[in-house]
Structure 1
Amino acid sequence: MSLTSSPAAPRVPPPALREFGYWLHRYRRTWRGTVVVSVANPLLFLAAMGAGLGKLVNQGGSDYLHGTPYLHFFAPGLLAAAAMQNAFVDSAGPVFQSTRARGNYRAAAATPMRPSDIFAGHLLFMAMRVASGALAFLLVATVAGAVPWERSLLLLPVATLVGCAFAAPLAAWAVTVTQFTRINGVFRFVLLPLYMFSGTFYSPDQLPGWLHAVVMATPLYHGIQLCRSIALSTASAGPTTVHLLYLVAMATAGVLIGRRTYTRHLHG
């Protein structure tokens, strides 16, 4: 009597990784169309504002720069702002389309995959997109001399955290949206003001007192200040801890809320 072992069952990746694989497969066909928005635009902006306008600012001698070249001041702020922009592009619109138009969320929810798995897999893809955009930005910024290479190694995970602090809450909200005009409204009336007033182009200390207080409560402000302090080697334990805790809290809150909104709207 011979004993034969049954063939081993094929390994099945966790549900969240299967959802991530779905988005990665889609991205292989569409990545060219996203390069301009997520990579080229910030890099062109860095060249125009940092190198072009920066020469005029350096010649004028701004007190709040304390002798720092404007390109060095501007680059880490733009890195954080670009992470926010990329997070919006890869979260709000795609989540809305997946829920209302294409229906791929509904199709995935009809399988044993849980809504929380769908959310986690898509959020993992969003984080990957933010990280890849930040990596491309940092490579160019380092070559241009805007960011020291050893600081770039620290800035990459920080920029990814900034993106996740926006992507998770945006995805948690977007799955509930029924009209795309609301997505556009958030971009125009929330993200653009954050882009302009959170310290990307100048120090928030230049703002009036009441507006400065409002800006300090925004997530992009904390992302910019954290990236800038690391890039300029001015980071200290207290402010760095506050910035990190704020961004982690935003991302965590987005994940917790997203698990509930995805469950309610995909299994409702």
Structure 2
Amino acid sequence: MSAAPAVTRPDLFGFLPVWQRNFLVWRKLALPSILGNLADPLIYMLGLGYGLGAMLPEIDGQPYIAFLAAGTICASTMNAATFEALYSSFSRMHVQKTWDAILNTPLGLNDVVAGELFWAATKSFFSGCAILIVITAMGLTNGPTALLILPAIVLTGLAFAALGLIWNALAPSYDFFMYYFTLFITPMTLISGVFFPTDQLPGWLAAIGGWLPLAQGVALIRPLLAGQWPADALIHIMALLATTAIAFTIALRLTRRRLLK
């Protein structure tokens, strides 16, 4: 990179210009972007929920499609945040040199990386809300507790945006991102309770899955979708916040090291 990171300004909201810039660019293609994020999880939910679900018994007193709906919201949020923090952020940092231009303004590297974090979380919020609207239209929500799913989507999106920025700081090319999906995202989706209860897994594997950030989001959203309060809600919230804080700190340090090379 040609531009060295600028001195960080002590501005708590310095990330807002970066967020606004990304939002203005996205707004031009907002509808195709939302539809693209909506199509894949919706196909999974309808295909598995009605197809496979017709052959399965109820899970915890609810039909399989209702069980799958919560997992679909979480998986869609995770994927949207991950794609934005990887492919889009990498393009702005490495290919388009957008970060170089921003770092030649009074904004610092903290502002840029934080702006990318909150923008990726915003994109994931749009995606999660789109799925939630469809699920509500299908009659799969129960009562006003469904509104509490919105902050749970935000927390899940922030965690995966921060994790994605770590890999973005390490990636030499777009091809490198496939390792992240193959070794982390896909296995996590399979052992975090998205498609089936984790008690069907071997004990050691279920224990690993229970510590992963996707499982924390599922543990919050699934009860809320069923009109219930999540058990150990504070623990899951703190786990997602801790994941965000730690991952963002690591991503910022790795990004700084990369730009100073």
Structure 1 and Structure 2 fold alike (TM over 0.5): yes
Q: More displaced, 201-210 or 182-191?
A: 182-191
Match of 2:186 among 187, 192, 208: 192
Q: Per-residue CA shift, 1:118-159, capped at 9, x if unaligned? A: 112222211211111111111110110112252321111101
Match of 2:241 in 1: 248
Given residue 263 of structure 1, which amino acid in structure 2 is its aligned partner?
Answer: R
Q: Contact (CA 8 Å) 1:155, 1:230: kept in 2 or not?
A: yes
Letter in 2 for 1:165: A
Identify the residue that residue 30 of structure 1 maps to in structure 2: 29
Contact 1:116 1:263 in 2 (8 A): no
Quote the Cα distance in structure 2 between the aligned partners of 1:34 and 1:115.
Answer: 27
Give the superposition deviation at 1:247.
0.7
Which residue identity does 1:25 align to in structure 2? L
Identity within the alignment, %: 28
Point out where structure 1 has 5 or more consecutive residues left out of the alignment.
1-13
- CA pair 182-139 structure 1, distance change in 2 beyond 3 A: same
- Tell me if 1:167 matches 2:161: yes
Relative to the length of structure 2, the TM-score reads 0.88
Cα distance 1:236–1:175, how it changes in 2: closer, same or farther (>3 A)? Answer: closer
Structure 2 stretches lacking a partner, 5+ long: 1-12
Q: Does structure 2 conserve the Cα–Cα contact (< 8 Å) formed by 1:75 and 1:147? A: no
TM-score, structure 1 as length reference: 0.86
Q: Which amino acid aligns with 1:103?
A: K
Q: SS of the residue aligned with 1:216? A: helix
**Partner amino acid, structure 2, of 1:56:** M
Deviation at 1:91, TM superposition (A): 0.7
- What number of residue pairs does the alignment pair up? 250
1:198-240 Cα offsets, whole Å, 9 max, x none, are 1111100000112112211211111112211222244355x21
Match for residue 121 of structure 1? 115
Q: Which residue of 1 aligns with 2:6?
A: none
Which one of the candidate residues 89, 95, 101 is aligned to 1:101? 95
User: Aligned Cα RMSD in Å?
Assistant: 2.0
- Please give the alpha-carbon distance, in whole angstroms, between the structure 1 residues aligned to 2:153 and 2:71: 10
Which of structures 1 and 2 has the bigger CA Rg? Answer: 1
How do 1:1-268 residues align onto structure 2 when only pairs under 5 Å count?
15-57=14-56, 61-62=57-58, 65-237=59-231, 239-268=232-261
